[in-house]
Amino acid sequence: MPIVYLIAGVIGAAALTLIFLSHLRFMKMTSQTAGQVLRSENRVVRTETERREETVIICRYTVHGKEYEVERILRGRQAKRYPVGKQLTIRYNPAEPEMSDIAVG
């Protein structure tokens, strides 16, 4: 009889894991389109405990005739890699196209 409980527990844990994964943001972004860099700039962020450099990238993309913008922050000084006008891949959720991310690599 304990084996039945063990199997039921494993099946239940697997089901909960699948439900959790299905709700993660990146799991819903299954479509992609081309986007264009509107702005890319390096900045320095200072807090009481640290100083870090980061790059802010803003892209525009179109889904079903409607334009959207997405922002991504990267570590380090990388603005030269993403000049204005550069084409990048944008991943987005087809049910909610404003839910998106810039695919950088």
In a domain, 20, yes or no: no
The partner residues of 52 in beta bridges, in order of sequence, read: 45
- Tell me how far apart the alpha carbons of residues 72 and 79 are, in angstroms, rounded to a whole number: 12
In a domain, 76, yes or no: yes
**pLDDT band with cut points at 50, 70 and 90 for residue 21:** low
pLDDT of residue 31: 92
pTM: 0.71
In a domain, 36, yes or no: yes
In a domain, 16, yes or no: no
Q: 88: how many CB neighbours lie within 10 A of its CB?
A: 18
Q: What is the mean pLDDT of residues 9-38?
A: 76
Q: 72 is written with which tokens?
A: 């991504």
Strands 87-93 and 31-46: antiparallel
Q: What is the mean pLDDT of residues 65-86?
A: 96
pLDDT of residue 22: 57
Helix and strand tally (H, E) in the chain? 2, 5
Q: What is the mean pLDDT of residues 72-77?
A: 95
Return the residue matching tokens 């380090």: 76
